Amino acid sequence: MAIGSRPPPPQFWPKLRRVLGGQTGWGGVLGQLVLVAFVVWLGYEIVANARANMQAQRIASGFGFLSQTAGFGVSQALIPYSESDSYTRVFVVGLLNTLLVSAIGVALATVIGFAIGLGRLSPNWLLARLAGAYVEIVRNLPLLFQLLFWYLAVLATLPNPRQSITLLGWVFLNNRGFVVAEPVAHASFWPVALALGIGVGIAFAAHALARKALFDNGRVLRIWPVVLGSLVGLPLVVALALGAPLSFEAPVLKGFNFVGGLRIIPEFVALTLALSIYTAAFIAEIVRAGILAVNRGQMEAGSSLGLSCGATLRLIVVPQALRVILPPLTNQYLNLTKNSSLAVAVGYPDLFSVFAGTTLSQTGQAVEIIVITMGVYLLISLITSAAMSFYGWRVGMGLGAT
């Protein structure tokens, strides 16, 4: 009698049955097939029904409207835009405005949120209470209300353009926005920019070198003179050789408004402020929770190793806290992006306002436009969430976890 292990019985069919049917076997497989067929039929039925009804009422359908002329103006466009451009261009203008307000809002909310969150943990009684009051007031008031507060109660009370608050004739603040001198690029702009790029490259290389020296040999290299020289010195030398890369054109009051200069419209300021201040209150609580989740012993261990308080926080506590902070932080970023669609209340031309609003009511093609808009918000959210997951994975790797 052979003692050697018996070859395992063929596993293919049982495995397939388990994968497809779970515990219920082939009956389950059949059930799932029926379910899939049902869902497909349901989807088809919904689309066909909508299409039949729209045809019966002779409502225009299809995506042909995207190439038609929009014929309306937009107050803020990051790319050149005029009334004679197409609805596609309106879509891009709106999308860029949404992305702009989201990106700046996320950055601001993160900074404010971390500051408030750390402040609430501070041993300083006053600071902790102030941070606590901020959180409790801001997160308990509706966002739309806060948005209108910033727009109508704060920014609208600024003086009119003729009585602008001004700083040396270069910077103006009025109820039409914040106007600053506009930088105008000269011939030497690109060489200087290139020099700056090279400087950044050198600085990164120096940083990597210093890190390697520290980790391999335990030597501490002093790299700041190199970094300073490459970041400031190199562009400066090029600028001195070729002439100034930029000059500034001061805005001039002409008729109703300022002509020339860069203008940040109050709608944008109100929306960004409201979104970031509101979201920051939630981020502050997330940060506080994350830091409290790290065992006190970690802080004590850090100080018993002789690390300074800041270094302990930076090297030991925060990396561990980040693992707790990141998933809910992602939620807040997504919320902020989606909440930016409140822009329409203050007349900021975001995607929802110009595309799912004006374009929709001009063309009447609600189904197509809502589908596109939903798809875009979904895509933005998925990309944000993927980026945050990637960052979380990196943080996890750094801690030796997978």
Partner 1 sequence: MVAVNPLTCLPHHPVMRGTVDLPRGRIRPGARGHPQCRVILKGCVMKRLLVAMLAFVAATVSQSAGAQTLKTVKDRGSLSCGVSQGLPGFSAPDDKGNWTGLDVDVCRAVAAAIFDDPTKVKFVPLSAKDRFTALQSGEIDVLSRNTTWTSSRDTSLGLNFTGVNYYDGQGFLVRKSLKVNSALELNGASVCVQTGTTNEQNLADYFKSNNMRYEVIAFASADETVKAYESGRCDAFTSDVSQLYSERLKLAAPSDHAVLPEVISKEPLGPVVRHGDDQWFDIVKWTLFAMIDAEELDITQKNVESKLRTDNPEIKRVLGSDGNLGEQLGLTKDWVVRIVRGVGNYGESFDRNVGPGSKLGISRGLNRLWNQGGVQYAPPIR
Q: Running DSSP on this structure, what letter comes out for residue 154?
A: I
d(CA 239, CA 218): 39
Return the number of the residue (204 or 393) whose C-beta is nearest partner 1.
Answer: 393
Q: Are 272 and 105 in contact (CB under 8 A)?
A: yes
Residue 60 as a binder of partner 1 (CB under 8 A): the answer is: yes
Q: How far is the CB of 156 from partner 1 (least distance, A)?
A: 4
Strand 257-259, strand 171-174: pairing: unpaired
Residue 63 as a binder of partner 1 (CB under 8 A): the answer is: no
Residue 208 as a binder of partner 1 (CB under 8 A): the answer is: no
Choose the binding region for partner 1 from 232-240, 294-302, 346-354, 372-380 (rule: CB under 8 A): 346-354
Nearest in space to 340 (alpha carbons), one of 387, 276, 263, 284: 276
Tally of CB atoms within 10 A around 165: 11
Q: Are 178 and 269 in contact (CB under 8 A)?
A: yes
Q: How far is the CB of 231 from partner 1 (least distance, A)?
A: 38
Tally of CB atoms within 10 A around 387: 12
Choose the binding region for partner 1 from 50-58, 110-118, 243-251, 323-331 (rule: CB under 8 A): 50-58
Quick note: the x/- pattern for partner 1 over 218-247, rule CB under 8 A, is ------------------------------
Return the number of the residue (260 or 319) whose C-beta is nearest partner 1.
Answer: 260
**Residue 187 backbone dihedrals phi, psi, to 5 degrees:** -60, -35
d(CA 223, CA 241): 26
Selected from 37, 141, 144, 156, the binder of partner 1 by CB under 8 A is 156
Choose the binding region for partner 1 from 71-79, 105-113, 164-172, 304-312 (rule: CB under 8 A): 71-79
d(CA 250, CA 269): 21
CB-based contacts of 19, cutoff 8 Å, min separation 6: none
Residue 175 as a binder of partner 1 (CB under 8 A): the answer is: yes
Looking only at residues 265 through 304 of this chain, which bind partner 1 when binding is defined by CB under 8 A? 265-267
Q: Environment class of residue 58 by beta-carbon count within 10 Å: exposed (0-12), middle (13-18) or buried (19+)?
A: exposed
Selected from 71, 169, 243, 327, the binder of partner 1 by CB under 8 A is 71
Residue 8 as a binder of partner 1 (CB under 8 A): the answer is: no
Beta strand extents in 91-204 (DSSP E only): 165-167, 171-174, 177-180, 182-185
Selected from 329, 357, 376, 377, the binder of partner 1 by CB under 8 A is 357
Residue 36 as a binder of partner 1 (CB under 8 A): the answer is: no
Binding residues for partner 1 (CB under 8 A): 18-19, 22-24, 31, 38, 42, 45-46, 49, 52-54, 56-60, 71-75, 83-84, 152, 156-157, 160, 175-176, 254-257, 259, 265-267, 344-347, 349, 353, 357-358, 360-366
